[in-house]
Structure 1
Amino acid sequence: MPETPLTAIILTFNEEINIVRCLNCLDWADDVVIVDSGSADRTLELAAQARPDIRVFTHPFKDFGDQRNWALDNVQPKHEWVLFVDADEFCVPELAREIGEYIRSPGDTVGAFIAGKNHFMGKWLRHSGLYPSYQLRLLKMGAVRYRKEGHGQREVTDGKAAFLKEGWIHEGFSKGLTNWLDKHNRYSTEEVDLMVRLRSEPPGLRQLFSKNPLRRRECMKRMGAKLLPLMPLLRFGYRYGLRGGFLDGKPGFLFSLLYASVSIQVVAKVYEAERNRTPMGDDRARRPSNRI
């Protein structure tokens, strides 16, 4: 495949297990940049061996939105179009071709949403992985910014965006289950402020029937916040039942359970946060207890 005039930016932190495969899947991109947040393993060494022309920058990680904005402001992309990739996301040839076709003729759009195909236990979770779940990762320089939302980020743009048909492989468990659990324990903490805010907002139920998948997802998240005690059960039922996760076999069942367990953490941490924010006058909410 001929090289595409595109700057691919990979965010890394201790990604020696993924980085070579990620770079090999980007051999069609003309300019590849790593923004590393302090890897202590062989990530950067292996990256230089796999792609000698790679450019490397380091920046402490605050959140995904901040890291992507820093990259846009500081790595000096060689091209007008930028593709953000995480090291555990792997571009398949069909997606690479679609990206090339899109940037040659983007019309009046300033970016494109890409969906990840979640893999677990060697299987693509077509159903329980909620495919397609989109993120705006391909963008025109100067037209898109990011802001933190929960543990992730949300795009900020006044322009229109396209939705690509192909998705990339996402190996979120490539570092093992313990690493995934540790990471999502942190993510659940970062979801607390978002959940507290969503609980105070109107649900906007009309968006549940929107043709835009992003609006539907936002509405479902607000509904989950409103029905907080039921959120783990609802999320499991949605993934495993309504979205057909049972069709993914044992991996789909376990994957749905794992995300339900993350929801349990979110529920407990939200209630803890709300209790700690009780006005000073209510001594009952602040009284220490020895009960578990």
Structure 2
Amino acid sequence: MYPTYQIRFGRRDALTFTQVGHGQRGALSAEQVGTLDEPLLHYAFSKGIADWVERHNRYSTDEAVHALAAEGKSTDWTALVWGDSQARRRALKDLSYRLPCRPLLRFFYVYLWRMGVLDGQPGFDYAVLLSFYEYLIGLKRRERTRGEEGRDQDGGKETSA
């Protein structure tokens, strides 16, 4: 999904990160961040597909929690136009949580819009995996919502179906 800018190098005492699903957010202003002249290669599948699925299962839980928290607070929609790249990206992500058919949209975005189709079978596989990741986020959001509703209706105890 090149180019996606994330802070990768720095002094430990000067950097702080917040884990947000699949990705970190650095607490630095744009003036404090530089870029490399060449891309940094990232091999997402270097440890195999099982490792990728395990990591994205964890990330989807974090994303579901974040999405539910974002529903409860107001989003700064002005960041879509006037925010820095990090604020704009977060606002877009919060907006995307509200879209119907999000997994299918992610597939089309990766496979067609970002030209994954040109990569043949690996591009198709990657688009399917990312849409599955989005599907997991939606499932976990609904599961958590149902769990909260079940506890609310039964005086703090979960109900079973």
1:118-159 CA-to-partner distances (Å, cap 9, x unmatched) read xxxxxxxxxxxx211111122245432122322543212356
Residue 254 (1) aligns with residue 125 (2): yes
Of residues 232, 241, 244 in structure 1, which corresponds to 2:112? Answer: 241
Residue 232 of structure 1, CA deviation: 0.9
Equivalent position amino acid for 1:216 in 2: R
CA contact (8 A) 1:134 1:214 kept: no
Report the secondary structure of 2:37's partner residue.
strand
| Superposition TM-score, scaled by structure 2 size | 0.80
> How far apart, CA to CA, are the structure 2 residues paired with 1:212 and 1:281?
39
1:208 alignment counterpart: 80
Equivalent position amino acid for 1:288 in 2: S
Over the residues paired in the alignment, what is the CA RMSD in angstroms?
2.6
CA contact (8 A) 2:150 2:159 kept: no
- Stretches of 4+ moved more than 6 A in 1? none
1:275 alignment counterpart: 146
Higher Cα Rg, which structure: 1
> How far apart, CA to CA, are the structure 2 residues paired with 1:204 and 1:250?
39
Residue 273 of structure 1, CA deviation: 0.8
Choose between structure 1 and 2 for higher RCO, CA contacts under 8 A separated by at least 6 residues.
2
Identical counterparts, % of pairs: 33
- The count of corresponding residues between Structure 1 and Structure 2 is 158
Task: Return the structure number with greater helix share.
Answer: 2
CA contact (8 A) 2:110 2:116 kept: yes
Residue 260 of structure 1, CA deviation: 0.3
CA contact (8 A) 1:198 1:226 kept: no
Of residues 90, 95, 109 in structure 2, which corresponds to 1:223? Answer: 95
Task: Return the structure number with greater strand share.
Answer: 1
Map 1:107-256 → 2, pairs under 5 A: 130-140=1-11, 142-157=13-28, 160-209=32-81, 212-227=84-99, 229-256=100-127
Residue 269 of structure 1, CA deviation: 0.6
Structure 1 unmatched ranges of 5 or more: 1-129
CA contact (8 A) 1:236 1:256 kept: yes
